[in-house]
Structure 1
Amino acid sequence: MGYSSDSSSPLHVQLADYIRDKVYSQEWPEGTKLPSEHEFMNEFGYSRGTVQKGIQILVNEGLITKVKGKGSFVIKPNIEHLTGNSLLSFAESLRMQGIDFSTEVIGSEVIPADKTCSQRLGIPLNAPVYYLRRVRSTSDGPLLYMESRINMLTCPGIDKFDYADKTLFSAIEEVSGKKLGYAKVRYGARIAGKMLGKLLNCDETAPVLNIDQICYLEDNSSTEWGNIWLPANKYVLVSVLQRA
Structure 2
Amino acid sequence: MTGLDRSSPLPLYYQLKEALLAFFQQQGFTPGDRVPGDFELCEQYGVSRTVVRQALTELEYDGVIERIKGKGTFYATPKVGEGLAQSLTGLYEDVAARGGDLVSEVRRLEVVPADPRLAAELEIGPYQPVVVLERLRIVDGQPWALTITHVPFDLAPGLLEKDFSHESLYAVLEGEFGIRLARGHRSIEAALATKSVAELLGVATGSPLLVLRSVSRDEAGRPVESFVAFHRGDRSRFEVDLTRGPNGGAGAAPLVIVTDSSARGDAALV
Identify whether the pair has TM-score above 0.5, normalized to the shorter chain: yes
Other-structure match for 1:96? 97
Other-structure match for 2:236? 235
Other-structure match for 1:73? 74
Find the aligned partners of 2:129 and 2:148 in 1 and give their Cα distance.
16
SS of the aligned residue for 2:157 comes to coil
Describe how 1:6-25 pairs up with structure 2 within 5 A.
Answer: none
Other-structure match for 1:36? 37
Structure possessing the higher relative contact order (Cα contacts under 8 Å, 6 or more residues apart): 1
8 A Cα contact 2:212 2:230, kept in partner: yes
Structure 1 unmatched ranges of 5 or more: 1-26, 45-57
Other-structure match for 1:165? 166
Are 2:207 and 1:206 equivalent residues in the alignment? Answer: yes
Query: Quick one: structure 1 residues 203 and 239, their matched pair in 2 at CA, closer, same or farther if it must change by over 3 Å?
Result: same
> What count of residue pairs does the alignment treat as equivalent?
196
Describe how 1:1-150 pairs up with structure 2 within 5 A.
Answer: 36=37, 64=66, 72-73=73-74, 75-83=76-84, 85-150=86-151
Find the aligned partners of 1:229 and 1:193 in 2 and give their Cα distance.
11
Other-structure match for 2:189? 188
Q: Deviations over 1:199-240 (max 9, x none)?
A: 100011210000010111111111111001111110121122
| Equivalent residue letter for 1:230 | H
Percentage of identical aligned residues: 22
Q: CA RMSD in A?
A: 3.1
Find the aligned partners of 2:181 and 2:142 in 1 and give their Cα distance.
30
8 A Cα contact 1:144 1:228, kept in partner: yes
Structure 2 unmatched ranges of 5 or more: 1-15, 25-33, 42-47, 50-59, 245-250, 252-270
Q: Deviations over 1:5-46 (max 9, x none)?
A: xxxxxxxxxxxxxxxxxxxxxx98997975528769xx99xx
Q: CA deviation at 1:136?
A: 1.2
Query: Quick one: structure 1 residues 216 and 84, their matched pair in 2 at CA, closer, same or farther if it must change by over 3 Å?
Result: same
8 A Cα contact 2:105 2:135, kept in partner: yes
Query: Quick one: structure 1 residues 240 and 115, their matched pair in 2 at CA, closer, same or farther if it must change by over 3 Å?
Result: same
Query: Quick one: structure 1 residues 122 and 109, their matched pair in 2 at CA, closer, same or farther if it must change by over 3 Å?
Result: same
TM-score, with normalisation over the residues of structure 2?
0.64
Find the aligned partners of 1:237 and 1:84 in 2 and give their Cα distance.
6
Q: CA deviation at 1:76?
A: 5.0
Query: Quick one: structure 1 residues 140 and 162, their matched pair in 2 at CA, closer, same or farther if it must change by over 3 Å?
Result: closer
Query: Quick one: structure 1 residues 194 and 28, their matched pair in 2 at CA, closer, same or farther if it must change by over 3 Å?
Result: farther
Q: CA deviation at 1:83?
A: 4.2
8 A Cα contact 2:85 2:238, kept in partner: no
> Which has the higher Rg, Structure 1 or Structure 2?
2
Find the aligned partners of 2:229 and 2:210 in 1 and give their Cα distance.
8
Are 2:142 and 1:152 equivalent residues in the alignment? Answer: no
Query: Quick one: structure 1 residues 175 and 36, their matched pair in 2 at CA, closer, same or farther if it must change by over 3 Å?
Result: same
Q: CA deviation at 1:160?
A: 1.8
Find the aligned partners of 1:160 and 1:65 in 2 and give their Cα distance.
46
Detail structure 1 runs of 4+ shifted over 3 Å in the superposition. Answer: 27-35, 37-40
| Equivalent residue letter for 1:77 | P
TM-score, with normalisation over the residues of structure 1?
0.70
Find the aligned partners of 2:194 and 2:17 in 1 and give their Cα distance.
28
| Equivalent residue letter for 2:145 | L
